A and B are shown apart, each in its own frame.
Chain A
Amino acid sequence: MRAVRQVLRQTETGKTGLRRISGTGGTGAFFGRETMAVEGIGARALRKEDKRFITGKGRYTDDIVAPGMGYAAFVRSPHAHARIRSIDSGAASVMPGVDAVLTGDQLVGDGVGNIICGWMIHSKDGSPMKMGGWRALEPEVVRHVGQAVAVVIADTLAQARDAADAVVVDYEELPSVTNAVAALGPDAPQIHPEAEGNLIFDWEIGDEAAVNAAFENAAHVTRMNIQNNRVVPNPMEPRAALADYNSAEEHFTLYTTSQNPHVARLVLSAFYNIAPEHKLRVIAPDVGGGFGAKIYIYPEEMVCLWASKRVNRPVKWACDRTEAFLTDAHGRDHESEAELALDSDNKIIGLRVKTVANLGAYMSLFSSSVPTYLYATLLSGQYNIPAIHANVKAVYTNTTPVDAYRGAGRPEATYLIERMMETAAREVGLSPAEFRRRNFVRSFPHQTPVIMCYDAGDYDATLDAALSAADYDGFAARKAEAASRGKLRGIGLSCYIEACGIAPSAAVGSLGAGVGLWESAEVRVNPVGTIEILTGSHSHGQGHETTFSQLICERFGIDSDSVAIVHGDTDKVQFGMGTYGSRSGAVGMSAIVKALDKVEAKAKKIAAHLMEASEGDIQIEGGELKVAGTDKKLSFTEVALAAYTAHNLPEGMEPGLKEGAFYDPTNFTFPAGTYVCEVEIDPETGKTEIVNFVAADDFGKIINPMIVEGQVHGGLTQGIGQALLESVTYGENGQLLTATYMDYAMPRADDVPSFNLSTHETLCPGNPLGIKGCGEAGAIGSPPAIINAITDAIGNNDLSMPAKPEKVWALYNSTMKQAAE
């Protein structure tokens, strides 16, 4: 009945799709003893990139040196909002080793453009969003603590920092505001002249009249105020840049920690006027995690490029962790009011949401899309909701800019709808699982009232699998046993859906995107038959060198050692859009498949010609091109060589065996699943321990289960961090109180459990491999499951993230007190 195939609860040795031609199968403990396996789609292929990382041979931006390079240190605002009266760099500029102290006046004078937001949103009255000016070095008014106002370039980093300390900036402090709702208030300070009342846009989606009608007819309404806490992405590698200007060639090279070097080059060139694209090479070498924070083009990287020309030497900058907290784009920060209308059968008939989104002091590159098209369009969840209306106000505050962080909008939507679902179920007296099941979408394609058209899924399957793996039915006994030990045990669900591979380009363009969201690939078969894949996707932990190679192994039956994945360098790779939004599989791999189709077709033509056979009879198997039904065959190497010697090609055929493709998807993809979290709470301290976490996901086709599991583990842990530990806190006067790991709690090994995962495949009909994407699901789906479990345990629903022990302890005590009264 269900078109679902239980793909795995893979054991460690369950290598589906594995075809070994020879090999070790051992620990891979020797450099020279690489597996010679042909590991295609579905294989748990070990990662090709690992050997450099486990031996210290990774090459990250800060590892790279250029002859004669100097170091940059930034002078940053200690105030959240202040007018700059003067900057005195006299003393600093004559300190030992100092080349220059550069300020915003010089930057503006050199014609460097303002930093822009690349997604236009229109308010419901039709007016365009109000974007305030953002300069890479601010000459007039600083708007958040940590904003750069000057940079020192010196021979050593220590000298640069010594001199940066000696730059004297005279500020006139202005009133500041950090909370978005407060920023909309009548007494709030005005942050940008362009945005009156600090309102960037007042946007809406859905049919308000239909929603109002639904609420009039509702048998039950569930109402909640829901906050989504501000967090910091925190890739372990801080941002860094090495900018190298060659005055003879008038050419710039930028090594940088980017998830999308081509987009960086485009923006640096087209908007910031650093250099025309052909005079600017951007290289993103090994990048130590991104999670969204490394999508954007930040002031510091721009300034390094500009300064490199100014001082005529390469300039290196490496962010320290506190600078990262102050300047990396933050994530989330929503305050919402939500109302869910049910009919007398407990079916949802309407959803009304009002959200205030804090975008910080400036509009970062994709900031406007996050609380709009990446958020409100997912409010339908896995459910049939006939009427939805959402209103989103985006607001300036004197805080670090906010942009996409793992999930970007979808975690906020999922947290909202999944807390509402759990709460509504409790209110109407249905089990949370049954209430969700009663409202599931079951027929596809399914058009929601908020743009999205879900293409394929089986939400019952993932719910069933998760409940079974979590032994949901046995919970009551476990709760009783925990109570005997003095612990409060709770269980919570989350049935998430998300949208990945944001596309197609024409559609996102119509919604305001400033770029297309396709991907490119080039397949280069070398004369000896080895293959290089040039991809516009970028790997910063995702393992593309392994998974992309698996596509080639699958197609041509060659071993993965014969394949190289080339990425992250604008001089090597044709244009590409980079990696974010779980798009590398669904979009990036699809481009590779398209290019492979072309290579395969040409290789078959050549083979048919050489073997005097019909093209249709050529089959590719085990690295050979064979004539079906005969023993005639040519190795892949022989065909490649023939393509390049060009001594004997079909009439009119161009030499060579190299093809490119651009792939623009037809729709978003829709990964979905159910997460079940079980917690135990220490009532004396309020500390939550996650005692079991089950994830049942539908990611469509899986190329490498090992890597997919790793993505889920990481996403879940970031979700646990948001739900239990992580919280950006601003103090009075807009000071960031959580600017180091001493004060910002990152999840550590003893904060998280081992996870119980499974996947359940329905193929995505929109791309050739059927991939949906897996990079963000864990971070999207987990927070509501955790909070639902805690509120279940303590019997109090008035809980916001992060569920710090004190908060849980106080809520539980107040519940007990009320019960006693």
Chain B
Amino acid sequence: MYETTYHRAGSVADAVRMIADAEDGKFLGGGQTLLPTMKQRLAAPSDLVDVTKIPEMKGIREEGGQIVIGAATPHAEVAASDLVKSRLPGLATLAGGIGDPAVRHMGTIGGSIANNDPAADYPAALVGLGATVTTSKRTFSAEDFFIGMFDTALDDDEIVISVSFPAAEKSAYAKYPNPASRYAMAGVFVARHSDGSVRVAVTGAGHYGVFRVDGMEEALASNWSPDAVAGIHVDSGGMLHDVHGSAHYRANLVTVMAKRAVAAAG
């Protein structure tokens, strides 16, 4: 790791000022992706601004029918939250399956979505549930927030403060993990909302990160059952291909995980 300067921000305003003052600064959440990248010398920020101690970015609360999760909330807390478990069981499952227990104690939802790793889990939940991302400057719909592989709509000096999830009638997440890294090779989040609308969001498999599967959403809207998606296949042309699996295999996993997510949602 190259030398860097560590700052601990006490407030969002603090954090934004620290980044503005830095030559090439980066916000530091739990650091579970950023620090390994820096250790491999693939990233060399001049300054790190630790945002995990900012009170307004922590905690989980219910607000106007939405579940609001502070960006600095670690995955373990989301997974263990009674509120999340009861209102958005798919989100609790998803958070409880990220990395491993030690990673979940450090890694945060804000850090995860700001990095937008194409194999990360959270983007599937945000898109699947139609979440809203609140930043230090504005709000985004999830779909506007995620732009592409490792890319978001965030400005360099913009920080995620919280994510608001509308409560869903049913939600579930099924993930096929990479046997080495345990990141998603295909993770499918399904949700049915009280207005009957359905969302199916896929992570891990696509070239450009998280995406929705319209055909599955339509099929599930009229028939909420695993069988409804069993025959629906995504185009392998848009799927990742690497040492862990071909595009063709990943496309298959999307269908299989979608079936299992619907089954788990009940």
Contacts and interface: CB of A to CB of B under 8 A. Distances in A.
A158 B1 contact: yes
A684 B179 contact: no
A158 B41 CA distance: 11
B260 to A, nearest CB: 9
Interface in A710-755: 725, 729, 731, 737-738, 741-746, 751
Contact of B243 (A161, A729, A809, A810): A729
A720 to B, nearest CB: 12
A737 B241 CA distance: 13
Interface string A213-256: 00000000000000000000000000000000000000000000
Interface residues of B, number: 19
Interface in B174-193: 176, 178-181, 183
Given A743-B181, A745-B180, A806 B243 contact: no
Instruction: Point out which of A684, A729, A746 has the most chain B C-beta atoms below 10 A from its C-beta.
Output: A684
A668 to B, nearest CB: 36
B222 interface: no
A685 interface: yes
Interface stretch (B107-115, B158-166, B248-256): B248-256
Contact of B252 (A729, A738, A745, A809): A809
Interface string A804-821: 111001100000000000
B181 A725 contact: no
A266 to B, nearest CB: 37
Nearest to A686: B249
Contacts of A170: none
Contact of A806 (B3, B183, B246): B246
B2 interface: yes
A145 to B, nearest CB: 15
Contacts of B238: none
Contact of A746 (B180, B245, B252): B180
A306 B144 CA distance: 58
A165 interface: yes
Interface in A779-821: 804-806, 809-810
Contacts of B244: 743
A745 B243 CA distance: 11
Instruction: Point out which of B176, B243, B256 has the most chain A C-beta atoms below 10 A from its C-beta.
Output: B243
Interface in A149-172: 158, 161-162, 165
Interface in A430-460: none
Nearest to B179: A745
Contacts of B1: 158
Interface string A317-337: 000001000000000000000
A97 to B, nearest CB: 12
A685 B176 contact: yes
Contacts of A165: 41
Given A738-B243, A741-B181, A806 B249 contact: yes
Given A165-B41, A806-B246, A809-B249, A741 B180 contact: yes
Contacts of A743: 180-181, 243-244
A669 B222 CA distance: 69
Interface string A683-726: 01100000000000000000000000000000000000000010
Contacts of B180: 725, 738, 741-746
A530 to B, nearest CB: 43
Instruction: Point out which of A158, A741, A806 has the most chain B C-beta atoms below 10 A from its C-beta.
Output: A806
Given A165-B41, A741-B181, A158 B256 contact: no
A738 B243 CA distance: 8
Interface in A74-92: none
B256 A684 contact: yes
Given A806-B249, A809-B249, A725 B243 contact: no
Nearest to B3: A158
A162 B1 CA distance: 9
Contacts of A684: 252, 256
Given A162-B2, A685-B176, A737-B243, A742 B181 contact: yes
A725 B179 contact: yes
A738 B181 CA distance: 11
Nearest to A729: B243
Nearest to B245: A806
Contacts of A162: 2
A725 B179 CA distance: 7
Nearest to B180: A745
Contacts of A810: 249
Instruction: Point out which of A685, A738, A745 has the most chain B C-beta atoms below 10 A from its C-beta.
Output: A685
B245 A685 contact: no
Nearest to B2: A162
B32 to A, nearest CB: 13
B188 to A, nearest CB: 13
Interface in A508-527: none
Contacts of A158: 1, 3
Nearest to A162: B2
Nearest to B181: A742
Nearest to B176: A685
Contacts of B246: 806
Contacts of B41: 161, 165
A720 B152 CA distance: 40
Interface string B42-67: 00000000000000000000000000
Nearest to A743: B180
Interface string B230-266: 0000000000000111100100110010000000000
A275 B2 CA distance: 37
A165 B44 CA distance: 13
Nearest to A806: B249
A727 to B, nearest CB: 8
Nearest to A161: B41
Nearest to B259: A684
Contacts of B176: 685
Nearest to B250: A806
A806 B2 CA distance: 39
Contacts of B249: 806, 809-810
11 contacts: A685-B252, A725-B179, A737-B243, A741-B180, A742-B180, A742-B181, A742-B183, A805-B179, A806-B246, A809-B249, A809-B252
Interface of B: 1-3, 40-41, 176, 178-181, 183, 243-246, 249, 252-253, 256
The 10 nearest A-B residue pairs measured at CB: A745-B180, A745-B179, A742-B181, A806-B249, A684-B256, A729-B243, A737-B243, A806-B245, A743-B180, A725-B179
Given A741-B180, A809-B252, 7 more contacts: A158-B1, A685-B252, A725-B179, A742-B181, A743-B243, A745-B179, A746-B180
